[in-house]
Amino acid sequence: MADPKGLMPDPEIRTREFKIGAIGAGMIMAECHLAAYREAGFDVVAIASRTRENAARVADRWSIPKVHDTPEALIADPTVEILDIAFPPDRQPALIRAALKQPHIKGILAQKPLSLTLEDAIALRDEAAAAGKILSVNQNMRYDQSMRVLKQILERDELGTPVIATIEMRAIPHWQTFLEDYDRLTLSNMSVHHLDVLRFLFGDPTEIYTAARKDPRTTFEHKDGITVSTLKFPSGVLAVSLEDVWSGPREEGFDSDIYIKWRVEGTDGVAQGTIGWPNGAASTLSYASKRTTDGKWITPTWDTMWFPHAFKGVMEQLQHAVKTGMPPDLSVADNVRTVALVEAGYRSMEEGRAIPLADYYAK
């Protein structure tokens, strides 16, 4: 749906003819990827996961014709043209490297975080380029409807020069069990959405300062539970991203709330809204501009949601890149810069200071 001012919360589906092989049968694949692909008309021809039983159950739900015993067997399937990976980040690089060797695989959609270290992310970027394969990373918050409309408003200069941006999350993620084996938690697995979307909106920052403390609810060992990151951009924009994964008590009968709010203030206008994911609702956006709305608030509306509808755009941009030979919107080269931002955030936590990003972005 487009509002009268021509703002487009969801992208056009231009390309859908390539056959998809799905690796993973957890929530993100079963509830988001495959639901979105069904709506968009994408052709999922095979699935595999850590156990055949789980893959078969999801295949039956979504009428996927072929179930492979292992991810490696799916990668070797010559009918698969695009590989869609939703697997833990420590297992993802080996699967990507196996796919890069297969002539029938034309494109790969990896999950974020791309890898556990910046060095591995850089290596995967370079190996994909050497293999002549399109590797894309599922930074799906860029396809949240409020973020897409905000990006269009910024590109039309309706807010004037951006001054300050904030993302405030007070919600409880479902931490996958495999995260208990890592030494990184919120910044790498939740904040990565917000840090990436700030890059999407404002470009590469010049520095990041991140502070963190443990989350009282998370029982396994971790160092970054609640996180706060401050970013500075060359344009002068100052941004703050808060991930409060505690967000207060959750006992039965306790009247508490969860939400994600965002706000961007410019010299000529203000935009603000919500990310609907924690409450299973559509995201929202309202804005007022001296230039285009006479200072009155306007609220575009749409019927779609971040989960699952954003995943249509994520797969479509890869399919279209395969068809046209153009770089995908979510390229691995761009994602390496988000991984670098996360890496710098962890260094900031350890050293207690702002970390310049010039050296990271030179890699």
The enclosing domain of 62 has a CATH number of: 3.40.50.720
Task: Name the token pair of 114.
Answer: 């791309």
In a domain, 83, yes or no: yes
Helix (H, G, I), strand (E, B) or coil at 268: coil
Confirm whether 12 is domain-assigned: no
User: Helix, strand, coil: what percent of the chain each, to 5?
Assistant: 35, 20, 40
Is 273 contained in some domain? yes
Q: How many CB atoms lie within 10 A of CB 96?
A: 23
Q: What is the predicted pLDDT for the residue at 2?
A: 38
- pLDDT value of position 256: 77
Q: Is residue 148 part of a domain?
A: yes
Alpha-carbon gap, residue 175 to 339, rounded angstroms: 20
- Residue whose tokens read 């790969």: 108
* Total domain count, the chain: 2
Q: Domain check: are 79 and 174 in the same one?
A: no
Residues 101 and 166 in one domain: no
Pair type for strands 269-274 and 259-266: antiparallel
The rounded Cα 271 to chain-centroid distance in angstroms is: 21
On whether residue 363 sits in a domain, the answer given is no
Residue 334 lies in a domain: no
Taking the C-alpha atoms of 357, 269, 166 and 6 in order, what is their torsion angle to the nearest 10 degrees? -90
Tell me how far apart the alpha carbons of residues 240 and 166 are, in angstroms, rounded to a whole number: 5
- At residue 254, the pLDDT reads 84
> What is the Cα gyration radius of the chain?
20
Can you give the pLDDT at residue 250?
A: 82
Closest CA to 10 of 306, 273, 212: 306
Question: What distance, in Å, lies between the first and last C-alpha atoms of the chain?
Answer: 40
Q: 38 and 84 share a domain?
A: yes
- Output the pLDDT for position 309: 98
> Do 258 and 279 lie in a common domain?
yes
Buried b (16+ CB within 10 A) or exposed e, 104-133: ebbbbbbbbbbbbebebbbebbebbeebeb
Span 134-151, pLDDT tens digits? 999 999 999 999 999 999
Q: Please check whether residues 318 and 354 belong to one and the same domain.
A: no
CATH of the domain at 265: 3.30.360.10
Model confidence pLDDT, tens digit, residues 242-293: 999 999 998 778 887 899 999 999 999 999 999 999 999 999 999 999 999 9
Q: Mind listing the pLDDT tens digit for each residue in 161-186? A: 999 999 999 999 999 999 999 999 99
Cα distances (angstroms) measured from residue 314 to each of 112, 127, 341 = 12, 22, 21
Beta carbons of 267 and 108 less than 8 angstroms apart: no
Please report whether residue 5 resides in a domain. Answer: no
Residue 171 near residue 247 (C-beta atoms within 8 A) = yes
Same domain, 147 and 107: no
Residues 132 and 195 in one domain: no
3-class DSSP state of 302: coil
162 in the same domain as 43:
no
Residues of the chain with pLDDT under 50: 1-2, 4
Residue 253 has what pLDDT? 81
Using alpha carbons, select from 255, 260, 30, 281 the residue that is nearest to residue 166.
260
**Whole-angstrom distance, CA of residue 143 vs CA of residue 310:** 5
Distance CA 138, CA 335 (A): 9
Q: Are residues 176 and 192 in the same domain?
A: yes
CA distance 27 to 345: 28
User: Backbone dihedral region of 258: left (phi > 0), alpha (psi from -120 to 50 degrees) or beta?
Assistant: beta
Longest CA span, the chain: 61
Please give the residue range of the domain that contains residue 42. Answer: 19-139+312-327
Say yes or no: 67 and 148 in one domain: no
CA 352 to chain centroid? 27
If asked whether residues 199 and 94 sit together in one domain, one would say no
| 8 is a domain residue | no
Q: Is residue 80 domain-shared with residue 229, that is, in the same domain?
A: no
Report residue 51 as tokens. 């156990």
Classify strands 134-137 and 107-110 as parallel, antiparallel or unpaired.
parallel
Q: Indicate the pTM of the whole model.
A: 0.97
Closest CA to 180 of 225, 219, 212, 224: 219
